[in-house]
Amino acid sequence: MEPTFHIGNLPVYGEAILSPMDGFSDLPFRAMARRLGSAMSYTEFVNAIDVVNVHPALERRLTYSQGERPITFQLFDDDPARLLEAALRLRERNPDIIDVNMGCSAKTVAGRGAGAGLLRQPAKVAQIFSSLSRELDIPVTGKMRLGWDEDNLNYLEIARIVQDNGGQLLAVHGRTKKQAYKGEANWEAIAEVKAALSIPVIGNGDVRSVADIARMRRFTGCDAVMIGRAAIGNPWIFAGLDREDVPAEQVRETMLAHLDAMLDFYGAERGLVLFRKHASRYISPFRLSTEQRQQLLTSETPGDFTALVDAFADEPVFA
């Protein structure tokens, strides 16, 4: 099979990729999405300060399975020297790619000049990409938004800076920092970035169905698309199936396998609590009563959760 595109020398097979999502794209969810067809993996973003300080919570965020390769570690910070130090330390864990976050709109991140805050500091972006790409022997990539706000749409400037300073791929979320997740993603801007660069470009924003994957690729010419929110509760999108086309039995099996993987990874208590946000999305299309939904999402043991799923599965509401 021909690769869909290359990141440096690294071949990537497939046109849809699970987005990095803090609180969601952990090993259990990534590995499942990857098995279903996501073309590569991105970790949740990791704070360079925590890497340098060897924060104990990082261990789980950086754990990956070999089947996920190509695996990308995503870092955020506003300090080029610390980003480089963190990237060099992460390199020892043998990822395939290091990615720099230039998109996070959260006040605690963007407000201190990291994430989307970097879009306001083009010289710093140049410094970060030139030093990381010089010092690392694996590809360095970026993920960005279109600019700080509608009056500062400097995406073409930033995109060229990333490419000119050694960046090997750019993912573009078609919104500004100010928009956060509101409004519609601007796919025309993604097309402009693709036309301006020779490195691969991943389009991102508002891909909600299997048809949207082809639609975004056609519209923007991008090399692949990244899917975030629409993949939660619907990892089958990577297997070419829209949520309404997935049989209830398959939902049940995948949901319980996902729960198992979370129990293994986080331990029984924390695994179940963290699984609830996925569970609520898995069951959202089902015609369950408010009470049934409540019961499922407050189950106190994995056994209770599974028993309830099985009890509801015998009812017509679970279809």
Can you give the binding site for ligand FMN, defined by CB under 6 A? 19-24, 44-45, 74, 101, 103, 143, 173, 204-207, 227-230
- Nearest-approach distance from CB 189 to ligand FMN, in angstroms: 14
Helix (H, G, I), strand (E, B) or coil at 277: helix
Please tell me the distance from the alpha carbon of residue 231 to that of residue 227, in angstroms, as a whole number.
6
Q: Which is nearer to ligand FMN, 166 or 174 (CB)?
A: 174
Q: Which is nearer to ligand FMN, 116 or 309 (CB)?
A: 116
- Nearest-approach distance from CB 310 to ligand FMN, in angstroms: 30
Residue with the shortest CB distance to ligand FMN: 228
Q: Which alpha helices (DSSP H) does the chain contain, by range? A: 27-36, 48-52, 58-61, 80-91, 107-110, 122-135, 155-164, 187-196, 210-220, 248-266, 268-283, 290-297, 302-313
Q: Judge whether 12 and 39 are in contact, CB under 8 Å.
A: yes
- Does residue 104 have an active-site annotation? yes
Q: Which is nearer to ligand FMN, 103 or 235 (CB)?
A: 103
Catalytic residue among 86, 104, 225, 232: 104
- Nearest-approach distance from CB 105 to ligand FMN, in angstroms: 9
- Nearest-approach distance from CB 96 to ligand FMN, in angstroms: 17
CA distances from 303 to 251, 294, 313, 314 (A): 18, 16, 15, 17
Please tell me the distance from the alpha carbon of residue 153 to that of residue 143, in angstroms, as a whole number.
15
Q: Which is nearer to ligand FMN, 297 or 313 (CB)?
A: 297
Residue 42, beta-bridge partner list: 72
Catalytic residues: 104
